[in-house]
Amino acid sequence: MQLELQILWVAVVSYVLSGVVAIFGVVLKKAPYRFVLATLLLGIALLSLSLGMRWERLGHGPFITLFEILASNVWSFSLIFALAYWRYPSIRGTAAVVMPIIFVMLGWMALSSTHEGHFPRSFRTPWLYIHVGLSKVFLGTVLVAVGMAGVILLRRIGIGVSRFESLPADERLDDLAYRFMALGIIFQTLMLISGAIWAQDAWGRYWAWDPLETWSFITWIMLAFALHWRLTMKSTPVVGALMIVAVFLFAFLTFFGIPFISESPHKGAV
């Protein structure tokens, strides 16, 4: 376990280095994009190794305790963002917005206990892995959209207008952001469906409106509303950005708050 944690903290250092360089790169208008991507990928690789060692040691995936959930989501968030960072060079400056969010999760993870959690019998199903995997892709794609929304909002309030001048215009960022939001609702829909199938296997019902199910459905409605508003009302990039941030904040609260205060079968810290 000691080696597992040592690798984890080296991964954290790599993440911090990547994020700090990305932020200062935007400030100084000399972002070393290859270095940022390389250190980010190094952090992902090291975190993958640490989580894999924990998985092998405990016999279950990293989705039981708060520590495991935060660590695995840092992994999935950063992996999806790294793919977007590599695939869309024009949005690389959004790392200055995305990495601080990952820093928050890393800090929260560092303050969480690394104790081992109980793996319930109801979790012993392939549908859990499908359900969790889809949720991570959903949150990751919305995070990429939040990076672009953050740039739009920072420009509007006069912060970083010149710093983000290398990024596309607000209208283009808005369009790209909602492409990721559209991808996000696909994965969230599949997440809800797979979760219902798992619930039927685990508890003999597809849906019971427990707190996490209810909040997840509200998040889906908010995301669907944001996409519908964007398509029908032709909202400005600023309004679109505010809706993206609202969806992400609600989703973040749903997935990182509700499971740990609820007494329903969905309770995460068991």
Cα distance between residue 60 and residue 8, in whole Å: 18
Q: Who has greater pLDDT, 176 or 203?
A: 176
- How much is the mean pLDDT over the chain? 89
More confident residue, 256 or 143: 143
pTM over 0.75: yes
Between 2 and 137, the higher pLDDT residue: 137
Tens-place pLDDT, residues 68-81: 999 999 999 999 99
Tell me what pLDDT residue 73 has: 94
41: which residues sit within 8 A by CB, 6+ positions away?
82
What is the per-residue pLDDT for 265? Answer: 45
| pLDDT tens profile 51-66 | 999 999 998 888 888 8
Q: Which residue has the higher pLDDT, 206 or 104?
A: 104
Look at residue 83 in the predicted model and tell me its pLDDT.
96
pLDDT tier, 268 (very low <50, low <70, confident <90, very high otherwise): very low
Q: What is the pLDDT of residue 40?
A: 97
Q: Where are the domains of the chain?
A: 120-260
pLDDT in tens, 17-36: 999 999 998 888 777 889 99
